[in-house]
Amino acid sequence: MNRSEEDGLTVFCGIDWAERHHDVAVVDDTGTLLAKARISDDAAGYSKLLDLLAEHGDSPETPIPVAIETSRGLLVAALRTGDRKVFAISPLAASRYRDRHGVSRKKWSLSALQASPGANAHYRRRREHGDWHNAAQRHLLNRFLGQLHHCLKSRQHFDEQRAFPPLLQTPA
């Protein structure tokens, strides 16, 4: 029985392709990084990749699917021999995804900072604690998404006082 069946996890592999070497990441279905490695673009690198995948439950019966940034080359050809699912992803696709969603996050957080005193205070606290601007925005967005999820799940209306309660001042 492999690790996937024992733990009830689905495992995936992603490969950042380059000319001379490739960076490999093995993650579970929650996005938790299980392993990472750098492999060479030759038979030794392919062997190292197979060993890494085997450590995380890869077998001929249940091959771990692989996403890679190219559809050509020795590594892709070797991966496609057998029943393994190989997903060739355009390197520009990830870049375009980041561009699309990065802009929407910035636009959303700007309007939230202007309209919500609680969001503004939360953002300022994150900045005062050392977060860079983008990290503070991302944290604020995640906070709002968590609140939205709670509201939808519990069928409650959004309450800014509950979402961003004022900090209690401790006596000096």
3-state secondary structure of 36: strand
Dihedral sign for Cα atoms in the order 133, 139, 145, 150: negative
Cβ atoms of 9 and 3 closer than 8 Å: yes
The CATH number for 3-90, chosen from 3.40.50.300, 3.30.300.30, 2.20.25.90, 3.30.420.80, is 3.30.420.80
Comparing CA positions, the residue from 88, 50, 57 lying closest to residue 70 is 88
Residue 116 to residue 141: CA distance in whole angstroms: 13
- The pTM for the full model equals 0.52
Domain ranges of the chain: 3-90, 97-163
Judge contact between 147 and 163, C-beta under 8 A: yes
As beta bridge partners, residue 92 has none
Question: For residue 98, what pLDDT is reported?
Answer: 58
Which DSSP category does 155 fall into?
A: T
Q: Which residues contact residue 120 at a Cβ distance below 8 angstroms, ignoring those fewer than 6 apart?
A: 113, 114
Show Cβ contacts of residue 105 under 8 Å, excluding neighbours closer than 6 positions. Answer: 137, 138, 141
Q: How buried is residue 130: exposed, middle or buried, by Cβ count under 10 Å (0-12/13-18/19+)? A: exposed
Q: In this predicted structure, what is the pLDDT of residue 116?
A: 78
Q: How many helices (H) and strands (E) does the chain have?
A: 7, 5
Mean pLDDT of each 10-residue bin along the chain, 172 residues long: 49 84 86 88 90 92 87 80 83 63 58 75 87 82 78 78 70 55
pLDDT digits (tens, 9 = 90+) for 101-118: 555 555 666 666 677 788
